[in-house]
Amino acid sequence: MAEGLIAIEEKGNNEILRDVAQRYLNELALRCMVQVRGDDISRRKFSTVYNKFTSCRLHDFMWNLCLSKGKGEGKIPSSINSTTANNINNIRRLAILGNSKVFEKYFQSHDLKLKTPPRSLLISPRDDGRMCIGRITNDFKKIKFLKTLKLEKCEFEGSKLPSEVGKLIHLRYLSFFESNVDELPFSVCYLPYLLTLDLRVRRRTTLPNALILDGLKELESCKVV
């Protein structure tokens, strides 16, 4: 939804974009293009009515096909290291997986100069580790056009998210899954297009009053523990 792949015109009566996405997934699953999971999915049969899926993944064949086509078009580098960092100027979807050193090297360093700011960013540690990313205030200008931001299992300085996140006004999806966020800044209420907010954090999170009373106008899904 955050990437704009779901057309608003496809919404039926009393439907939200998430419902349309579920229908799309159902059609892809029927064509054996993706594998889906949901509550008691093994005991259900696909029908014309969409199912409530919780996750999905590509079949191995489709995965290899997508990788092959993406690399052939030069859209997916086989690996990113210090020698290729300067050659990923046009990447729209960036995933930083590893430890804090990896984050500092490829996100905070001047080696990574993106001519086109990414539209999607995932930061997550490998395995069961934690990602200590400290303060990222000065780096929001590099990602000002983000639509999707996933900060999973991240350790923030002071367990607080910088208020500058409110400047990412194009965000549709914002996730802090298993991160240590004790308090959301008031600026989160200034994200006019936010559709999904994932607050399944490690500890209880304090929400700004404006978010509790008025909510975000476009918010369709808020996940909490």
pLDDT, averaged per 10 consecutive residues of the chain (225 residues), comes to 70 75 83 74 43 74 81 56 51 72 58 66 73 59 83 79 84 87 82 85 71 61 65
Tell me the residue ranges of DSSP E strands in the chain. 34-38, 53-58, 93-98, 120-125, 131-134, 148-151, 154-156, 173-175, 196-199, 221-224
**Domain match, 117 and 106 both:** yes
Q: How many domains does the chain have?
A: 2
CB 20 within 8 A of CB 11: yes
Q: How far is CA 148 from CA 2, 22, 49, 195, in A?
A: 6, 19, 28, 10
pLDDT attached to residue 43: 43
Q: Burial, 16: exposed, middle or buried (Cβ in 10 Å; 0-12, 13-18, 19+)?
A: middle
Residue 56 DSSP one-character state: E
Could you tell me the residue range of the domain that residue 27 belongs to?
1-74
Could you say which of 38, 54, 74 is where a domain stops? 74
pLDDT attached to residue 212: 52
**Domain match, 50 and 152 both:** no
At 59, list the tokens. Answer: 């079949």
**Domain match, 173 and 197 both:** yes
**Domain match, 31 and 52 both:** yes
**Domain match, 139 and 200 both:** yes
**Number of neighbouring beta carbons within 10 Å of residue 66:** 12
**Domain match, 23 and 133 both:** no
